[in-house]
Chain A
Amino acid sequence: MISKIHELLKTKKISCVELVQKYLAAIDTLNDKLIAYVNVSSDLALQSAKSIDEKIASGEDFDILCGVPMTLKDNISTKGLETTCCSNILKGYTPIYDASVWKNLKNKGSILLGKTNMDEFAMGSSCENSCFGGAKNPHNYNYVAGGSSGGVASAVGAGIAAYGLGSDTGGSIRQPASFCGLVGLKPTYGAVSRYGLIAYASSLDQIGPITTSARDAAIVYDEIAFKDDMDSTCKGKLCDTVSHLDDNIKGIKIGIASEYFKAIDSEVEDSINKALEVYKSMGATLVDVSLPSIDYVLPVYYIIACAEASSNLGRYDGIRYGFRASEYKSIHEMISKTRSQGFGDEVKRRILLGTYVLSSGYYDAYYKKAQMLRGNIINDFNSAFESCDVILAPTVPMTAFENGTTSRDPVEMYQTDICTVSINIAGLPAVSLPCGFDSKNLPIGMQLIGPKFSEANLLCLANKFEQATDRCFFKNIEGGINL
């Protein structure tokens, strides 16, 4: 999609203003039902498009992302544009700086159409924890877009954004990409700057692209993975990924860990098995690997994520930004009323659990033990990658959930993250890509997991699969922009 837009702008078959107008009109038609966008920045988008048309008319060379209409998850800070994390506590908050990733994309001429929906503070797997209501799946509005970056996936899947940036703490890019039939890349921890990403769990969070092809994911990744002085955990990418998209994959070893295939839907399993046959026909060999620590990865993830969240979310006190309760008798009451009225139920549950596992008497049994088990999980992956180049697994054990069926039992909901969280725990990169449809015509996704900083290899393998299957698992949605 990105290359196509670039070509159309370059050959002057469409102007950037016309292109943006098309997208805005499609948003106008579809967004009421999708709730993909929570804030559409039409004026800013048209203004940027106009200046890009002037640049193109002057004959100046322009970057591949220049003039491409895109979106950002609403936890990525945009200077002067409201950023809420889809929480009542941040309504009205306007950042005074741009996130580093957005600053760079803006410099390249990317056009922001608006901010997209998410589970409140990225806590959730269905987008239904959003204070704006959950984003819907463009393949069927009765199903969720997934979470937490549900709005980005809904918008890109519906064709009302050419690409988007989400964030992935435990699967929040890959799971909605899988549910909406898209490519979603969770980069290596430390490849992409987190400066300006509103923190959920700092040792797990990572920004990445959701796109309609592996090539687009590579184009965007190459522009967002750079060393940044504003994030001391960020060292950027190892190499360009676009130039490796067509590398030879013959002889590549794909690891299969049986632990990822426990309790998955048979239709998901069938699609993954067919995908493995495709890779075999391209010269890949399959190797069995073992990740025994996966059995307790979910509690480890929720203990660490909630502990970090309870600390990160301590900053919402109603004093410096966002919502403030209107009636109180003391500062303590002002802060607790602000937080109680401003946060939704899932956020409160996670803050309480985080406070519990960090409190005196429980710290060793929960937080310290979970961190040590994190070491076991990392060791398991290191051993597995001694005998294979990548691991292939389902992204989610099932396809998209029906609207309103997920939020009743929190623990049941946490279980659906079983295939994605281990990658964040180990700080690894993984790309989710579509590999089938179930009997309800909902997309099925699989993920390729690699050692740290192996994004080029993962995106190359994703690209090869896309080519070998003639992009048959990507579907254009009526009403969206299909160039």
Chain B
Amino acid sequence: MVTKDELLDLALLSKLDISDSDVDKLLVDMEEIIKFADKINAASTSDVEFDNINDLQNVYREDKVVDSFSQDDILKNSKTVENGFFRVDNHNHIE
């Protein structure tokens, strides 16, 4: 059971605003989805190691300095840039 307070707390952690009109619908959805996820409770996992479950190995490259992106390129997609930095105003802002 997910309560309204829990949902709002999750939203805060997820950096999402949930409007009052969406809360009821999301509570129903989350309830259903968590009930669905709870199905794993019945399964046994006694003989499985947790570490590196996929048995993957890193494929490393040689550790040497290579060219990367220019500062201009990195800043290209930002809405507001100032003196080579990303700029965000910390107050009311209307574009």
Contacts and interface: CB of A to CB of B under 8 A. Distances in A.
Nearest to A379: B48
A334 B88 contact: yes
A108 interface: no
Interface string A300-327: 1011000000100010011111101011
Interface in A78-119: 92-94, 96-97
Q: Chain B, interface size: which category?
A: 35 or more
Nearest to A230: B61
A330 B50 contact: no
Given A352-B14, A356-B10, A427 B90 contact: no
Interface residues of A, number: 73
Given A326-B94, A375-B49, A352 B37 contact: no
Given A339-B15, A340-B16, A410-B29, A329 B54 contact: no
B1 interface: no
A372 B69 contact: no
Interface in A174-223: 189-190, 203
Contacts of B77: 92-94, 96, 320-322
- Most chain-B CB neighbours within 10 Å: which of A321, A356, A373, A374? A356
> Which label, helix, strand, loop or mixed, suits the secondary structure of the B interface?
loop
Given A232-B58, A329-B92, A339-B16, A349 B37 contact: no
Contacts of A368: 50
B43 A414 contact: no
A257 interface: no
A468 to B, nearest CB: 35
A344 B59 CA distance: 35
B3 interface: no
Interface string B1-34: 0100001001101111110000000100110111
A327 B49 contact: no
A300 B36 CA distance: 10
Contacts of A339: 14-17
A320 B77 CA distance: 6
